[in-house]
Structure 1
Amino acid sequence: MRIEDEIKNIIEKKDYDFWEFLKKAYENNIKLDIGHFILLNILIGVNDLYHKLSEKFGEEEARKILERNKIFAKNSDFISGEFLKDYIDRKSRVAVHNRIKDLKTLGFKIESKSGPFGGYKIVGYPEWFKK
C-alpha cells in the first residue's frame, strides 16, 4: 500500500450527497468552494485510512506511518494543518481553519488542536450526511 496513492484516492472520492451538502450550506449562509469538499474528503479518508492501518499494524505504528508521510502532526493523531493547506492550494492555514469552521457549522464534529502537535480530526457527522 502506497500512502501517496491512498491520499490521491481519498481526494478524488466523492461518495456523499453533493446536493444535500449544498442545501445545508445555503440554509446556513455558507459560501462553499472546492476547498470545503477537499478538506472533508481528506478528513474522512485519512480517518478511514488510519483505522485500516491500525487494524493491520496497530495504532502506534499506523500513527507513525501517517506522521512520516507528514499527514499527522508530530506525536499526534491529528491531521496537520500544513498538510491540509497544500491540498486546497492556499499559502495560509487560516484558509483551512475558516473552512473547518464552516464544516463545523454544517454539523460535522471536528476536533481542533493548536500548536506543533495540533491539527484536525473528524469525530462525528451530522444526521443528514450519508458517509
Structure 2
Amino acid sequence: MEIQYDSIKLDFWAFLREAYKKNIKLDLGHFIILIKLLEINREYNNLIKKYGKKDARKILEDKGVFSKNSEYVSGEYLKKYISRNSRGAVYSRIKDLQSLGFEIKTKPGALGGYKLLKTPKWFKVLD
C-alpha cells in the first residue's frame, strides 16, 4: 500500500513496521508533514539551480514557506496542512518522525521551524 500526497508516494507498510518497532502511533499528519518537507526540499533545490541560494530562500520566505531570514520551514505553514490550530501539533509529529530515524533539525521560536536533513535507510520514495 502506498500513500500519495501531491507528487510524492510513500511506502505505508514500511512506516507501519518502523512505527510498530518504536511504539509510535501514526496519523495522516505524520505523512503529510514528511511529504511537505520532501516537496519543499525538492522545490528549494530546483530554485537554487535556477536563481541561486539567496534568491531561492527569499522566494520561499515570501511564499510563507520559510521563516524569516532562514531555511527552516515554518510551523505555521505546516500546521495548515494537517488541519490543526497549534504549531505544537506539528512539533509532536516532528518528534515522532525523528524517533523513526528522520534527521530533522528544529529551531524554536517565531523565526524558527524545521529542516529535513536526512532520511533513514529503511525509507524509500516510490516512483
* Fold in common (TM above 0.5): yes
Equivalence map 1:29-108=2 (5 Å) = 29-108=23-102
How far off its partner does 1:27 sit?
1.1
For 1:124 and 1:14, locate their aligned partners in 2 and report how far apart those are by CA, in whole Å: 16
How far off its partner does 1:22 sit?
1.0
Q: Specify every segment of 5 or more residues in structure 2 that has no aligned partner in the other structure, as ranges.
A: none
Question: Aligned pairs, how many?
Answer: 122
Task: Assess if the C-alpha contact under 8 Å between 2:8 and 2:39 holds in 1.
Answer: no
Match of 2:114, as an amino acid? Y
- Which is strand-richer, 1 or 2? 2
Q: Does 1:115 align with 2:90?
A: no
Task: Assess if the C-alpha contact under 8 Å between 2:101 and 2:120 holds in 1.
Answer: yes
Q: Does 1:129 align with 2:123?
A: yes
Deviates more, 1:93-102 or 1:114-123: 114-123
How far off its partner does 1:12 sit?
2.0
- Which is helix-richer, 1 or 2? 1
Identity %: 52
Per the alignment, in what secondary structure is the counterpart of residue 72 of structure 2?
coil
How far off its partner does 1:96 sit?
0.2
Match of 1:81, as an amino acid? G
How far off its partner does 1:119 sit?
0.1
For 2:80 and 2:110, locate their aligned partners in 1 and report how far apart those are by CA, in whole Å: 17
Per the alignment, in what secondary structure is the counterpart of residue 115 of structure 2?
strand
Per the alignment, in what secondary structure is the counterpart of residue 126 of structure 1?
coil
TM-score by length of 2: 0.92
Query: Alignment RMSD, CA only?
Result: 1.2
